């Protein structure tokens, strides 16, 4: 008996050139690694049947659930600045969409589900490492309250995937508001297919921008969401690592957890991705790159926008939208409630001192106002000077320092997914020991609280523990 899911597949109703219909490729021996019961509930899905043997088989790509209309989406994209007119889902299959009890619509996609016509040289598979990384980091992002695709399940395939060495294969079930990317628009613009572009704009407006009236309104919505998103990333020290236009959503959700990382020691030019040789996607360059990507979206939409000056005017708003969102994020991190002249300078001053003194990003913000923060600085006097200015600024608000410190603890996480902990969890999982994965994942579900027994997960890596590079999730 096939699994029943309440699918309603609006993307599958779009014209043929949007995708290739095909089912996932079955795997040898599916076994469930992780299942997200809370997310299943949020989607209105039956967690018991989805996590049963039959459900696990479906989430590994063995058999297509009733009501699914599996397909691989077509898209293009700028990869490190070079335009590739055809990318597409090379290792993912969209099963369909479910509408949650509150009316919100979600894509349910299998990642690592076998080759598609868009696989190019790839095998269409994923190994356990990137599947667990995406599970951990996307769920941590959600727990931090930052828009992101979600992880519903991770399933081991019982098959070997060949990378440089043989590795265990896995499939991730990814849930997203949609998988429409900047690159999806570029795909049709590159083919000068205006009918498809029009259909895509209408579809995207319906799903993400109910108030928008046209392509220009959609562009404005995407610009606002991306300005907010990048500010939120930077507020938690997140480096996406591969902000190609095919990895930037229209919904404003974070997507594609490949060579991403959270900063340990703060520096604005930190780069982790092994393939980002010129630091194009360095931590502090993310707003500029977002603007560049949004300019590509504007270019793709231009055939549908009568007034190109209006599109340019929308783009020109990005720096100020980003600055405002960044300022709001970091003012909250400092426990500031009101807006005063000089707030941005106060924030920049702290960040500058942190960079010069090799302070840990997460632990410094978490401990502001205490000896622990001071001890993060090579020269604690550099912290003391800033602390005096911060206290003067806080005294303008009628709140006591105690209230400010509570605010600081409520918005600055104690625990984030540090790269060395993720790698440790992956290495153990490869040997069949999932305990470190489960422990890390559980601690990250409540990032603003830390039990004593999890103190080690909040600690910055020692010199020997630092993982200097991250790799693409292939």
**Whole-number minimum distance, CB 282 to ligand AMP, in Å?**
18
Distance set, CA 247 to CA 17, 43, 63 (Å): 20, 24, 28
Give the strand pairing for 238-239 and 77-79. Answer: unpaired
360 touching Mg ion, by CB under 5 A: no
**Shorter beta-carbon distance to ligand AMP: residue 25 or 119:** 119
- x-or-dash string of contact with Mg ion, 212-251, rule CB under 5 A: -----------------------------------x----
Scanning 84-92, 167-175, 316-324, 453-461 for contacts with ligand AMP by CB under 6 A, the matching segment is 84-92
123 touching ligand AMP, by CB under 6 A: yes
124 touching ligand AMP, by CB under 6 A: yes
**Shorter beta-carbon distance to ligand AMP: residue 187 or 266:** 187
**Shorter beta-carbon distance to ligand AMP: residue 273 or 363:** 273
Binding footprint of ligand AMP, residue count (CB under 6 A): 19
- Which residues from 416-455 bind ligand AMP, rule CB under 6 A? none
Q: How far apart are the two ends of the chain, measured CA to CA in Å?
A: 33
87 touching ligand AMP, by CB under 6 A: yes
Exactly one of 256, 264, 276, 360 binds Mg ion (CB under 5 A); that residue is 256
CA distance 131 to 30: 14
CA trace torsion 301, 304, 308, 312 (10° rounding): -30
The pair of structure tokens assigned to 142 is 């959600």
CB 127 within 8 A of CB 169: yes
CA distance 381 to 376: 11
Burial annotation 293-327 (CB, 10 A radius, 16+ → b, else e): bbbbbbebbbebbeeeeebeebbeebeebbeebbb
- x-or-dash string of contact with ligand AMP, 378-407, rule CB under 6 A: ------------------------------
Provide the sign of the torsion angle of the four alpha carbons 217, 219, 225, 228, taken in this order.
negative
88 touching ligand AMP, by CB under 6 A: yes
Among ligand AMP, Mg ion, none, residue 366 binds (CB under 5-8 Å by kind)? none
- Which residues from 290-349 bind ligand AMP, rule CB under 6 A? none
73 touching Mg ion, by CB under 5 A: no
Annotated active-site residue 341? The verdict is: no
Catalytic option among 246, 256, 264, 360: 246
The pair of structure tokens assigned to 261 is 């990382």
Tell which phi-psi region holds residue 252, choosing left (phi > 0), alpha (psi between -120 and 50) or beta. Answer: left
Strand ranges (DSSP E) for 335-459?
Answer: none
**Shorter beta-carbon distance to ligand AMP: residue 125 or 174:** 125
Residue with smallest beta-carbon separation from Mg ion: 256
The pair of structure tokens assigned to 354 is 């942190």
91 touching ligand AMP, by CB under 6 A: yes
The pair of structure tokens assigned to 470 is 């991250």
CA distance 171 to 314: 39
Scanning 87-95, 264-272, 293-301, 353-361 for contacts with ligand AMP by CB under 6 A, the matching segment is 87-95
As annotated, the active-site residues are 246
- Using CB under 6 A as the criterion, which residues of the chain lie in contact with ligand AMP when the complex forms? 87-91, 118-119, 122-125, 242, 246-247, 256, 258, 472-474
- Using CB under 5 A as the criterion, which residues of the chain lie in contact with Mg ion when the complex forms? 247, 256
């Amino acid at each position: 008996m096939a699994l029943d899911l309440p699918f309603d597949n609006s993307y599958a109703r779009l014209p043929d050139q949007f995708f290739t219909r095909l089912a996932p490729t079955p795997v040898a021996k599916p076994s469930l690694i992780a299942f997200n019961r809370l997310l299943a509930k949020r989607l209105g899905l039956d967690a018991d049947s989805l996590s049963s043997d039959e459900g696990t088989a479906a989430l590994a790509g063995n058999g297509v659930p009733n009501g699914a209309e599996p397909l691989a989406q077509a898209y293009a994209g700028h990869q490190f600045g070079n335009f590739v007119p055809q990318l597409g889902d090379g290792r993912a299959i969209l099963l369909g969409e479910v509408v949650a009890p509150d009316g919100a619509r979600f894509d349910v996609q299998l990642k690592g589900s076998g080759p598609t016509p868009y696989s190019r040289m790839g095998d269409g598979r994923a190994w356990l490492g990137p599947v667990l990384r995406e599970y951990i980091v996307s769920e941590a992002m959600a727990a931090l309250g930052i828009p992101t695709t979600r992880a519903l399940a991770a399933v081991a395939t019982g098959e070997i995937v060949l990378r440089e060495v043989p590795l265990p294969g896995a499939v991730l079930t990814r849930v997203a508001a949609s998988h429409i990317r900047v690159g999806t628009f570029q795909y049709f613009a590159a083919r000068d297919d205006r009918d498809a572009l029009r259909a895509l704009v209408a579809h995207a407006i319906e799903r993400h921008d109910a108030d928008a009236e046209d392509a220009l309104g959609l562009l404005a919505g995407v610009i606002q969401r991306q300005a907010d998103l990048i500010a939120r990333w930077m507020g938690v020290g997140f480096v996406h690592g591969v902000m190609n236009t095919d990895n930037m959503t229209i919904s404003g959700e974070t997507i594609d957890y490949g060579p991403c990382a959270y900063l340990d020691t703060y520096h604005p030019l930190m780069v982790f991705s092994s393939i980002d040789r010129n630091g194009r996607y360095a931590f502090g360059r993310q707003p500029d790159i977002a603007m560049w990507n949004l300019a590509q979206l504007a270019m793709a939409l231009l055939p549908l926008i009568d007034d190109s000056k209006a599109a340019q005017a929308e783009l020109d708003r990005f720096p100020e939208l980003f600055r405002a969102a960044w300022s709001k994020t970091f003012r909250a991190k400092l426990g500031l409630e009101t807006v005063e002249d000089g707030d941005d300078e106060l924030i920049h001053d702290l960040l500058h001192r942190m960079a010069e003194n090799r302070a840990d990003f997460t632990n410094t913000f978490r401990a502001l106002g205490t000896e622990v923060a001071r001890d993060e600085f090579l020269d604690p006097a550099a912290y003391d000077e800033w602390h005096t200015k911060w206290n003067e600024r806080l005294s303008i608000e009628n709140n006591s320092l105690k209230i400010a410190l509570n605010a600081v603890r409520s918005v600055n996480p104690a625990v984030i997914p540090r790269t060395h902990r993720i790698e440790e969890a992956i290495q153990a999982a490869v040997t069949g020991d999932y305990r470190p994965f489960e422990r890390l994942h559980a601690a990250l579900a409540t990032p603003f609280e830390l039990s004593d027994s999890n103190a080690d997960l909040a600690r910055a890596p020692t010199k020997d523990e630092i993982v200097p590079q991250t790799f693409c999730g292939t």
